Structure 1
């Protein structure tokens, strides 16, 4: 049976797995149970992934807010703790709410792993992020397994709303509630010259080469600055070792330019923050973002951000705190087949707009200072954690009662 399963096309295996686990997983009932004020936050806590980082951000924020919180390793790739071995539940006493940073297609499998005894009588929340305006059919798998859904942006929430009408709340990542301090590393630690304007493009190849669109960033940088030695582009790339074809395309796109550098080390997060703090500009010509952690973190560190003016980043980057790049919408096509949905579109950043923004920011230090200061102020307000604290309190309120 296993050999037959492995011979099936990848998409067919995905659909079959999602359908089977969705049929077997426990379903929630309404009205939802109230929580006792404590939280269990589950996700890929030890993996370098967007969902994993989202779970870690939430854990740090809740601890900063003095909300009782317990971490739970939960995911398909990392594995899931067998929480049901901790004992069952008897009586009607409220229990800690369970917040799972596991997207809908994989959520039923994680719930099956956790066990019905652990889930019984517990408020279950899915923290989901999606990068397109519409959902693929696979996402229907987890809709009946959660009492409500939290999304990091209004963009993601709008896409998810038809799946869980009236049960979706916008809860941005609380980056400013317990910010990570950058390591004490200067430009010399990263081999960067002091007298150059440095542009950073940071992304994970595991998050879709097409969606992150680094080739557009390289084209824009080369068109803006050519081979100028006082203009440096740093491509910080995670998981490069697993995507040889993508890396070959990136290296070919640079044309061997001496002012374009690759940073492929998996840096500790404090070192990664230090690198961001060392640069002048953070560039993201993404086709779509469900939140946009890299631009958001750059803003919190007071950097000038140039980003495609579409999807979730458009909710917190405007001309007062950054340089939005014009775009046109095109059909979403992902060669890996992950970021696709019927009729979905995403953005193609306008090259001339990106080049203009790069030149303007690079040539005007005063502009970078002003935008960086405004960006930090905006990020501290936008990502303060107020929305997280509000929904956390609501979990412990009886139905129909505000906290």
Structure 2
């Protein structure tokens, strides 16, 4: 089993996190946006269709995985591409000499508040006369004012869902393009690991809840998933819940809440180890049901990847996951919309709402799926078919062609 080491936050970052959230984010975003190189008007034409993919390539995160998915898709589709380590958490590599030589467009999987700082790290000479694309994902229907400061730093914006695009269009009209993650262009091959290797019961119906605490405890809403499972099955040994939690060590208070919700349940286990992509895929394949009672998703990688593997997905019926998950290929959970309140202050914007999944609906879905193997098989087969169609990479190929063949005499209006 290939285990990954969870890298520690830099000491300066730990110190920085002690300051009040909102002021530090506004201050950092405003200063870096003022200093950062702006998207230039005089662009040199790219040659050979090459594209640079930037992001936190070595980090376990949604944005990091998005960059890795795009690089794999490029290889599968015959698109010449180079990865550029670019981020705040993992740092930014100094681009190699050969990357300076051409003017290949740069697609940065870095959200707006951090993008100016990343451009500063890459350097003005590297960014100059190069088309810059921000690959952004946002999980609420309202975009915070903080994001506007980065608009002058990009020529265009790509985003993985129509849900996210509608929000981004309000601050960048005419500059947003929906480019879903091309999961099916180069799908990850699961490793050989089976239930025994992961310590999962052989005969039980296994439900998997997988999320990163770095992506917001409140938004991922694991307490609703735990409550739904416990109400559906109690302590039945033939029903098992695995909570796969990334970056747990950095959020002790969140983990305390999760452990309290699990209490002494004999059929619930917490898994904090980081696995390789192949082993993570194998773990998902070992599950019968993948449960996501999220409050909102800008795309929904966990449900989408589970569908690619033919799993039965039960997910909140709101935000980006509704673009590929329906009653035809999964089990949507009804919900109501409530004001978006994130104790960390990240996923908040004036007037924004997100979903509160209905526990009763989730309980019924869990029981129905767990009790009917034939239904799980039918939904899983349909889910895999839908996912392979929806995430084929067609939109990415079209976006790449447009990016590398468009006129370069000017930049989109900010």
Q: For the structure 1 residues 368 and 32, does the alpha-carbon distance in structure 2 shift closer, same or farther, using more than 3 Å as the test?
A: farther
Structure 1 position 33, deviation (Å) = 5.7
1:109 and 2:134 aligned:
no
Q: For the structure 1 residues 103 and 6, does the alpha-carbon distance in structure 2 shift closer, same or farther, using more than 3 Å as the test?
A: closer
3-state DSSP of counterpart to 2:336: strand
Tell me the distance in 2 between the aligned counterparts of 1:231 and 1:96: 52
Structure 1 position 116, deviation (Å) = 1.7
The equivalent residue for 1:318 is: 326
- 1:248-302 CA-partner distances (Å, limit 9, x unpaired): 1111112311011111111111111111101100000000001101000000000
Q: 145, 169, 172: which is aligned to 1:164?
A: 172
3-state DSSP of counterpart to 1:396: helix
Q: 33, 41, 52: which is aligned to 1:40?
A: 52
Structure 1 position 35, deviation (Å) = 2.9
Q: 259, 278, 282: which is aligned to 1:270?
A: 278
Compute the TM-score of the two structures, normalised by the length of structure 1.
Answer: 0.94
Tell me the distance in 1 between the aligned counterparts of 2:251 and 2:294: 19
The equivalent residue for 1:143 is: 151
Tell me the distance in 1 between the aligned counterparts of 2:265 and 2:212: 22
The equivalent residue for 1:15 is: 26
Tell me the distance in 2 between the aligned counterparts of 1:7 and 1:352: 39
Instruction: Verify the 8 A CA contact 1:30 1:147 in the aligned structure 2.
Output: no
Structure 1 position 32, deviation (Å) = 6.3
3-state DSSP of counterpart to 1:321: coil
1:340 and 2:352 aligned:
no
1:75 and 2:87 aligned:
yes
Q: 77, 80, 85: which is aligned to 1:65?
A: 77
Structure 1 position 7, deviation (Å) = 8.0
Q: Which moved more, 1:255-264 or 1:317-326?
A: 255-264
The equivalent residue for 2:163 is: 155
Tell me the distance in 1 between the aligned counterparts of 2:67 and 2:233: 39
Instruction: Verify the 8 A CA contact 1:84 1:114 in the aligned structure 2.
Output: no
Q: For the structure 1 residues 153 and 399, does the alpha-carbon distance in structure 2 shift closer, same or farther, using more than 3 Å as the test?
A: same
Tell me the distance in 1 between the aligned counterparts of 2:218 and 2:114: 23
Q: Which moved more, 1:32-41 or 1:254-263?
A: 32-41
| Pairwise CA RMSD | 1.9
Tell me the distance in 2 between the aligned counterparts of 1:187 and 1:18: 45
Q: Unaligned regions of 5+ residues in structure 1, if any?
A: none
The equivalent residue for 1:250 is: 258
Structure 1 position 17, deviation (Å) = 1.1
Instruction: Verify the 8 A CA contact 1:83 1:115 in the aligned structure 2.
Output: no
Structure 1 position 119, deviation (Å) = 1.4
Tell me the distance in 2 between the aligned counterparts of 1:362 and 1:117: 57
Q: 264, 267, 279: which is aligned to 1:259?
A: 267
- 1:141-192 CA-partner distances (Å, limit 9, x unpaired): 2111111000010111111112211010000001111111111011111111
Instruction: Verify the 8 A CA contact 1:87 1:117 in the aligned structure 2.
Output: no
Structure 1 position 396, deviation (Å) = 2.1
Q: For the structure 1 residues 399 and 86, does the alpha-carbon distance in structure 2 shift closer, same or farther, using more than 3 Å as the test?
A: closer
3-state DSSP of counterpart to 1:135: coil
Instruction: Verify the 8 A CA contact 2:40 2:130 in the aligned structure 1.
Output: no
- Equivalent positions of 1:350-369 (< 5 A) are 350-369=358-377
Q: Unaligned regions of 5+ residues in structure 2, if any?
A: 1-11, 409-414
3-state DSSP of counterpart to 2:59: coil
Structure 1 position 30, deviation (Å) = 4.9
Compute the TM-score of the two structures, normalised by the length of structure 2.
Answer: 0.92
